[in-house]
Chain A
Amino acid sequence: GENVEQHPSTLSVQEGDSAVIKCTYSDSASNYFPWYKQELGKRPQLIIDIRSNVGEKKDQRIAVTLNKTAKHFSLHITETQPEDSAVYFCAASKGDYKLSFGAGTTVTVRA
């Protein structure tokens, strides 16, 4: 089955700096890559997703890039703010129902 690896497991950044989280996937048939944000004690919520026919997608301060050849995708958060502190999960899907999640990255934004 699909194996998604996510790095780093923890990330501490100064407010205003950028944060980058990287994920790799194993199944070249995967074509849908969402990112979820989970605040402490809350539910995971989709923040951005990308499909395999697109190389980059941006939404305000967050962006995702996809390299199909290398089978990796990344989340970029610019101008980080304290409310960006959370656990971020990447996931991959082959276009069916099954999302394979990465292990998560705990992001802490220092004021």
Chain B
Amino acid sequence: DAGVIQSPRHEVTEMGQEVTLRCKPISGHNSLFWYRQTMMRGLELLIYFNNNVPIDDSGMPEDRFSAKMPNASFSTLKIQPSEPRDSAVYFCASSGQGPTYEQYFGPGTRLTVT
């Protein structure tokens, strides 16, 4: 298995532009998580999907952030419009047997908003 796949690995964009981050979880996993990592705030859970359904989006910073999971093998995190304070590494993770089993992280997307 290739593990969790994320794209792009790096994204540089200008303030105000739309950014879309993509994630392919490990095949067979039914839990998917989006995290944001910054030096100031550490690792923060943004949203959690179970069986493609958003269960908890309380970590999403504001309405500029949205996430979808149209099927079991694909999820997107969109920021529109982007701001410099959104600059961070965004990780997608998936879990197979249940949410308290090992979460496998993707390689992350390093987002820079100028």
Q: Does B43 contact A (CB under 8 A)?
A: yes
A43-B91, A43-B108, A44-B91 known; A101 vs B42 contact (CB < 8 Å): yes
Docked Cα-Cα span, A5 to B40, in Å, equals 15
A97-B48, A103-B42, A104-B42 known; A46 vs B103 contact (CB < 8 Å): yes
Q: What 0/1 pattern do residues 76 to 109 of A give for CB contact below 8 A with B?
A: 0000000000000100010111110111100000
Residues in chain A within 8 A of chain B (CB atoms): 32, 34, 42-46, 49, 89, 93, 95-99, 101-104
CB distance from B57 to the nearest CB of A (A): 12
Task: Find A89's partner among B43, B50, B106, B108 (CB 8 Å cutoff).
Answer: B43
Other A-B contacts than A43-B105, A93-B99, A101-B43, 13 sampled, CB-CB below 8 A, are: A34-B102, A43-B91, A43-B106, A43-B107, A44-B91, A46-B104, A95-B100, A96-B100, A97-B33, A97-B48, A97-B55, A98-B45, A104-B42
CB distance from A27 to the nearest CB of B (A): 14
Please tell me the size bucket of the interface on B.
10 to 19
Q: Does B18 contact A (CB under 8 A)?
A: no
Q: A93 to chain B: which residues have CB within 8 Å?
A: 99-100
Q: What 0/1 pattern do residues 14 to 44 of B give for CB contact below 8 A with A?
A: 0000000000000000010100000000110
Q: CB distance B108 to A97 under 8 Å?
A: no
CB distance from A103 to the nearest CB of B (A): 5
How many Cβ-Cβ contacts under 8 Å join chain A to chain B? 43
Residue of B nearest to A51 (CB): B100
Q: B103 to chain A: which residues have CB within 8 Å?
A: 34, 46, 99
Docked Cα-Cα span, A95 to B100, in Å, equals 6
Q: B99 to chain A: which residues have CB within 8 Å?
A: 93, 96-98
29 contacts between A and B (CB under 8 A): A32-B100, A34-B102, A42-B107, A43-B91, A43-B105, A43-B108, A44-B91, A46-B102, A46-B103, A46-B104, A49-B102, A93-B100, A95-B100, A96-B100, A97-B31, A97-B33, A97-B50, A97-B55, A97-B56, A97-B99, A97-B100, A98-B45, A98-B99, A99-B45, A99-B103, A101-B42, A101-B43, A103-B42, A104-B42
